[in-house]
Amino acid sequence: MNIPEPIAEFDAFVARVQTMADGSPRVVLDMSEDRIDLLTTLAKTRTSSTMLTVLVFDKDEWQEYIELCKDEI
C-alpha cells in the first residue's frame, strides 16, 4: 500500500485563539525556531488556498498513537 506523506509535521503550542468579525475561529500556533524550514511549505498552502486537515494530539498521546499504529502500516 502506498501511504501519502504529510505536508508537514511539527510540535506547537497554541499562541492565540480568537473569533473573527464574521464569526469564524482563528488559531495561531507557535513552533520552535528550529522549524523555520516549514515557512515555505506552509506559505505555499496559503498562496494556493489549499485546505488542510489538522489532527490535534497531546504530544505524549501522539507518540503512543504512532507506536500503536506502527504494526498496522
d(CA 70, CA 73): 6
Q: Which residue has the cell 468579525?
A: 21
Asked, for residue 3, whether it belongs to a domain, the answer is no
CA distance 29 to 66: 22
| pLDDT over threshold 70, residue 12 | yes
51 assigned to some structural domain: yes
Percent of the chain with pLDDT over 90: 79
- Whether 48 and 41 have beta carbons less than 8 Å apart is answered as no
CA triple 62-66-71, angle to 5 deg: 160
Confidence at 1, pLDDT banded by 50, 70, 90? low
Domain that holds residue 43: 12-69
Contacts of 50 (CB under 8 A, 6+ apart): 7, 44
Does position 2 have pLDDT exceeding 80, yes or no? Answer: no
Query: Tens of pLDDT along 23-62?
Result: 999 999 999 999 999 999 999 999 999 999 999 999 999 9
> Residue 7 domain-assigned?
no
